Structure 1
Amino acid sequence: MEVCNAIESRRAIKVYDAEHRMTDAEIEKLMSQAMLSPTAWNIQNWRFVLVRDPEQRKKIRAAAWDQAQVTDASLLVVLTADLKAWGKDPIRYWRNAPQPVQDYILPAMAQFYTGREQMQRDEGMRSCGMAAMTLMLAAQDMGYQSCPMDGFDFDEVARIINLPSDHAIVMFVVIGKGISDPLPRPGSLSQEDVVVIDQFS
């Protein structure tokens, strides 16, 4: 599928074939694609929780206002951000770079993030947002449907998945075999509404 076709055909699907199972190879391919998503300073700060245990899915569904796609989609991905990834053995993000690049980038990265808690959180949101879009477009290319979600109790889901204290939940993406057509697009703004040239007036 062409990228433009995937973008144009992707819609948030809520109803899935609960009997369908994705293969391990398909899931591995999806995650490999997601891990090509860009991150600032190459810190790769996304952490993907693949919730596969049926009982765990039921608990999360209860924390997500009983939305059926949480249990019925083939795959539930909880996208979380490691807010301190920038400081965790950072040489691994640049191990293949020339030594002069490492000598410059590692101190610069530490200086950029140290003491900037909001920046660390913002960075996680940006990284996971891009990874979520990559996941959804890759799924579309593979013939699957998806749905991004933030309609859940973040604190309860954090408890269920035993989220580390230096991580933040960003969103869910469910992926599977959709069995309902999307509703017509409810209303799209024009480019005149959303594209600003040079500066706001």
Structure 2
Amino acid sequence: MDTITAITERRAVKHYDPDFEIPAEDETKLLELARLAPTSFNIQNWRFVNVKDKDLREQIKEAAWGQAHVADASLLIIMCADLKAYEKEPSRYWSNTPQEVQDILVPMIVPFYDGNDALQHGEAHRSCGLAGQTLMLAAKAMGYDSCPMVGFDQKKVAELIRLPENHVISFMIAIGKEIKPAWPRPNQIASSEAIVVDRFEN
């Protein structure tokens, strides 16, 4: 499936075949494609929690107010981010580039983020958003369905997955085979409202 078709046909599917399992090679491919999503300064701050334990899935389902697709979908990926990835051996993020590139970019990384909690959190959610959309489009292109989710108790889920200090949860993505299609696409706001040319009007 081409990219444009994947974009237009991707929907938030809520009902999945609980007996369907995504083959291991496809699971690996999906997550490797998601890891190609861009991050600022290439800090790769996303962390993909692939919840495979059935009992843990049921506990997360309970923390998601009983939404069936948390447990029924073949995959449940919790999109997390390490807020302090920028300070963890930042030279490794550019080790395959020419030395002159490393000399410019690596010294910029820590000062850019250090002490700026809002920027660290913003970067976490930007990175997870880009990787999550990459993951969902890749899934659609490979013949699978998906659903991004924020409808869950983040504190409880953080406890269940033992989220480390200085990490945040951004959202979850269920991936599998639909047994019931999504509702018809809801209304899109007008292009004139969504697209601003040059600047907002006063």
TM-score tier after normalising by the smaller chain length:
over 0.9
TM-score, normalized by length of structure 2? 0.98
Deviation at 1:140, TM superposition (A): 0.3
How far apart are the structure 1 equivalents of 2:184 and 2:22?
Answer: 28
Q: Give the SS at the match of 1:59.
A: helix
Q: Give the SS at the match of 1:107.
A: helix
Q: Which residue of structure 1 aligns with residue 46 of structure 2? A: 46
How far apart are the structure 1 equivalents of 2:102 and 2:143?
Answer: 41
Identity of aligned residues (%): 49
Q: CA RMSD in A?
A: 0.7
Q: Which residue of structure 2 aligns with residue 7 of structure 1? A: 7
Name the amino acid aligned to 1:99. Q
Q: Give the SS at the match of 1:179.
A: strand
Q: Give the SS at the match of 1:175.
A: strand
Structure 1 position 95 matched with structure 2 position 95: yes
Deviation at 1:190, TM superposition (A): 1.6
Matched pairs, number: 201
Q: Which residue of structure 2 aligns with residue 36 of structure 1? A: 36
4+ residue runs of structure 1 moved beyond 2 angstroms?
A: none
Name the amino acid aligned to 1:154. Q
How far apart are the structure 2 equivalents of 1:99 and 1:184?
Answer: 52
Q: Give the SS at the match of 2:80.
A: strand
Q: Which residue of structure 2 aligns with residue 179 of structure 1? A: 179
Name the amino acid aligned to 2:146. S
How far apart are the structure 1 equivalents of 2:22 and 2:181?
Answer: 20
How far apart are the structure 2 equivalents of 1:23 and 1:51?
Answer: 15
Name the amino acid aligned to 2:134. T
Deviation at 1:103, TM superposition (A): 1.8
Name the amino acid aligned to 2:83. L
Q: Which residue of structure 2 aligns with residue 141 of structure 1? A: 141
How far apart are the structure 1 equivalents of 2:54 and 2:91?
Answer: 38
Q: Structure 2: any 5+ residue segments left out of the alignment? A: none
TM-score, normalized by length of structure 1? 0.98
Q: Structure 1: any 5+ residue segments left out of the alignment? A: none
Deviation at 1:185, TM superposition (A): 1.5
CA deviations on 1:34-87 (whole Å, 9 max, x unpaired) are: 001000000011000000000000010000000000000000000001110010
Q: Which residue of structure 1 aligns with residue 66 of structure 2? A: 66
Q: Give the SS at the match of 1:31.
A: helix
Name the amino acid aligned to 2:182. P
